Structures are given as C-alpha cells and as structure tokens.
Amino acid sequence: MTIELMPPITYRPNFISEAQGQLLLEETKGYPFVRPKIKVFGRWHLVPRQQVWFADPGCDYRYSSLMIKAQPWPPLLKQLRVLLQQQFTTQFNGVLVNCYQGGCDTMGWHSDNEREIVQGSQIASVSLGGSRDFLMRHKVAKQVHKLTLNHGDLLMMHAPMQQDWQHSVPKRARMNDLRINLTFRLLTPYFHHHD
C-alpha cells in the first residue's frame, strides 16, 4: 500500500485581485532584473530566467555560489509584504522576484534551504501573469504533486516543506506568456557580514 504524502502548503487561488495584480505587473517593468551565471558541478551556466532580490538592509542572499545584494523595496511589494505578514502572522525581510519570459524559462528542482533562511520559517509565493505548473517532489518517497499557479494565486510553503520536499517550474514550450513569481522569505540579517 502506498501512503499519499501531502506537501505542507496552503493554496489560495485569486489571493490578489485582477486589478491589483495588473498594478504589480506594471511595477515589475521597472525592476532591475538580471540573468546571472551560476556554477553547477564546476561549470558556469546562465540562469534560465531573470531575477532580482529586494530586501531589508543586511539581508544579502547567497545561493549556488552567487551572492545577491539586497535592493531597496519597491512600493507595491512593500505593501504586499505587510498584507502577507498580517494574514499569516509572520515576518518577511526579503522577496526574490523571478521573471519567466516564456515557457522556456524554468526553475530546476531545489529546496529553499540556504543557511541564511530562518529555520522553520514560511515562504509565501505569489504568481502574476501567465499560468505555469509548479511541481513538488518528496525527497525520499519521490512522490510528485502538481499545482497550476495562475495570475493572483498565493502558495504558502510551511515548515518542513523545504526539509522534506523539492519544487520546480518545468519547461512548457507552448506557453508564451510572461510570468512573474514573488517569493517572500525571512533571512537572518547580516548572516554574510563577516564573509
């Protein structure tokens, strides 16, 4: 008998209204996106999407050998952070914004388990623009669950999601729409201060 394992998530479709989502999308047009290179198994690769990290002072973020400096919060993201903090009685001090230009931009399997992320904290993911599949795979049992994230949807990832599960946004060659994903996180401030 196979026991079905469920990822520790809360999914709220249409958490952001259509109009609010459009305003946020408009704001993202002015964000300083970059497509950095990261080292994987000793080789450098262009990240298959664009990204930018907004955060409080001292909340620089390092992943895959890349140190991302905190940029100051844009107005609408600051408001969204307050809303999420109130609704989920939690704190966030940074947001990673990923921009998928089309279905060939992707996010590979990973967990958000960098050392500077506060242990046991939640991660709030808000999607805007085109719809994309979001996969979750249990690290041991390898069971996979799929959610389609649409414009305005919220996905809360609770502990121990990052410990037990990986997630990814696979390629969907026939999707041409731009998609923005915002993941709000809680980091230990000044974690990299002495690096």
Ligand X SMILES: O=C(O)CCC(=O)C(=O)O
Q: Using the rule CB under 6 A, is 93 a contact of ligand X?
A: no
SS3 label, residue 31? coil
The whole-angstrom separation of Cα 134 and Cα 75 is 27
Q: Is 174 annotated as a binding residue?
A: no
Name the closest residue to ligand X (Cβ): 181
Contact by Cβ (8 Å): 59, 186: no
Question: How near is the Cβ of 125 to ligand X at its closest, in Å?
Answer: 5
Q: Is 158 annotated as a binding residue?
A: no
Question: How near is the Cβ of 134 to ligand X at its closest, in Å?
Answer: 5
When binding is defined by CB under 6 A, the residue of 28, 93, 98, 162 that contacts ligand X is 98
Enter the DSSP assignment of 84: H
Of 44, 60, 58, 51, the closest CA to residue 28 belongs to: 51
Residues 31-90 that bind ligand X (CB under 6 A): none
Q: Is 43 annotated as a binding residue?
A: yes
Which x/- pattern over 99-138 shows residues binding ligand X (rule: CB under 6 A)?
--------x----x------------x--------x----
SS3 label, residue 62? strand
When binding is defined by CB under 6 A, the residue of 93, 122, 128, 167 that contacts ligand X is 167
User: Sign of dihedral through CA atoms 25, 136, 82, 189?
Assistant: negative
CA distance between the termini of the chain: 49
Question: How near is the Cβ of 3 to ligand X at its closest, in Å?
Answer: 26
Q: Binding site residues for substrate, as ranges? A: 41-43, 61-63
